[in-house]
Amino acid sequence: MTDPARRDHRSPATPEASDPQRAWAFRPASPLPGVPGGPLSGLRFSVKDLFGVPGWPLRASSRAPVPDPGPSVLVRRLLDLGASATGKTHLHEIALGITGANGFGGTTHPTLPGRVPGGSSSGAAVSVALGQVEFALGTDTGGSIRVPAAWCGVRGFKPTKGHPDWSEAGVLPLSRTCDHTGPLARDLHTILRVHEALTGQPVRPQDWTGRRVGLWLPDGWVTPDVRDAVLGVARTLTHLGATVTTVDFPEVLDAYSPIVLSEAAAVHRDALALHEPGFLPFTLAALRQGASLSADEVRAAFARRDAYRKELDALLDTFDVLLAPAVPTPPPRAGQDDVDLPGGPVPLRRAVLRLTAPFSLLGAPTAALPTAHHAGGQPFVGVQLVGRHGQDDTLLALAHALDTAPATGTPEPA
């Protein structure tokens, strides 16, 4: 007999037939209404199942018990601004992954059967891609907004770490050092509208004339079609008046992984003490790995992080924006562990995170946009635009200018 506490917590209002992608963790009988007349009135949003919402369950898409973070300040703020919350979306279990696997069957791609949507904000991206909401609340610890945005053909934004208007209070953490909250939407205009409502300030339009762009496109890290797509965006930026120059930046996973895993293990310490916590095998192994790290190993990781931050700051003193791939390949198959890259097969998790983790580890504002490169008729690869710390408004305005500019075509690989 099934333990009621172990059942999928989607409401009867979300039968399997109406949610074949398993995007929704919980949908109430009626949405939480926003305050009438607010600047976000008329917009619906979904809430990643890490945000505390009074009266709604929180399971982090896991069968294991998870801590209660209390009510989300950000959700309450969005409701006060007039947006309506329609329900909670599934994620990669406890946000520790980039495909969408979880304890409730996993979330699948919105339009490509057998492919993953990306994670950990998988249900968030699917709910936006299918037009079920105007925007979604996600979190990003190492790419968890940007990866599903790219693989589902939508837009995503990760603010500067600690941005005062994108509160992390009332959100179940994975890594307090690297966690960010942020939105996903089908267009940058909606993201701008939400950001402006939260900050109370208009985002002034920007153009690319005279902008210095650093192109980070490491050899062998992406498939040829992704490389062509990124170079196509670089060509568009040049056409818009920017100067694009290739830059180097190291892989940062030697700092990122110990920090995230040790902090995640601390968050889930009580569940790890149980004989059978209920986590998926990969999640459990990763948490136990984090718990086994010594204090010296974690301190060394933070020292490496400090060195990487200085390198990124130096780049962003020279360049206005960095341009990079958001994902190494089009959406992989469900259950796929490795990806074939020009240098040979690479574990999927490493292939993705080495592109996205630097900008969560180092807290820089980053926007993810689809590219003009199409797979199956849809733009299922994307780019990242990385801005200077604290210059979120400028980054969003530049991203919007790029997103609404006509593509100039994809050049041959350099």
What's the pLDDT tens digit per position in 299-310?
Answer: 999 999 999 999
- Report d(CA 260, CA 326) in Å as an integer: 20
Hey, how many other C-beta atoms are within 10 angstroms of the C-beta on 405? 15
pLDDT on residue 112: 94
Q: What is the pLDDT of residues 263-308, one digit of tens each?
A: 999 999 999 999 999 999 999 999 999 999 999 999 999 999 999 9
Query: Max alpha carbon distance in the chain (Å)?
Result: 66
What separation in angstroms does the CA of 210 have from each of 143, 206, 217, 240, 312? 29, 11, 21, 9, 21
Structure tokens at 393: 């408004």
pLDDT on residue 407: 67
pLDDT on residue 406: 82
pLDDT on residue 343: 86
pLDDT on residue 124: 98
> Mapping DSSP to helix (H, G, I), strand (E, B) and coil, where does residue 212 land?
strand
pLDDT on residue 408: 65
- Report d(CA 297, CA 358) in Å as an integer: 19
> Mapping DSSP to helix (H, G, I), strand (E, B) and coil, where does residue 295 land?
helix
Region at 71 (left for phi over 0; alpha for psi -120 to 50; beta for the rest):
beta
- Report d(CA 220, CA 216) in Å as an integer: 12
Structure tokens at 395: 């980054």
User: Which positions of the chain have pLDDT values less than 50?
Assistant: 1-15, 374-376, 410-414
pLDDT on residue 16: 60
pTM above 0.85, yes or no: yes
Region at 162 (left for phi over 0; alpha for psi -120 to 50; beta for the rest):
left
Instruction: Confirm or reject CATH 3.30.750.24 for domain 212-403, answering yes or no.
Output: no
> Mapping DSSP to helix (H, G, I), strand (E, B) and coil, where does residue 341 land?
strand
Q: 21-199: which CATH topology? A: Amidase signature (AS) enzymes (3.90.1300)
Residues of the chain with CATH 3.90.1300.10: 21-199, 212-403
> Mapping DSSP to helix (H, G, I), strand (E, B) and coil, where does residue 246 land?
strand
Mean pLDDT of the chain: 93
Hey, how many other C-beta atoms are within 10 angstroms of the C-beta on 94? 29
User: What phi, psi does 154 have (nearest 5°)?
Assistant: -120, -175
Cβ-defined contacts of 29-33 (< 8 Å, 24+): 31/84, 31/85, 31/86, 31/87, 32/79, 32/84, 32/85, 33/79, 33/84
Structure tokens at 300: 């060394």
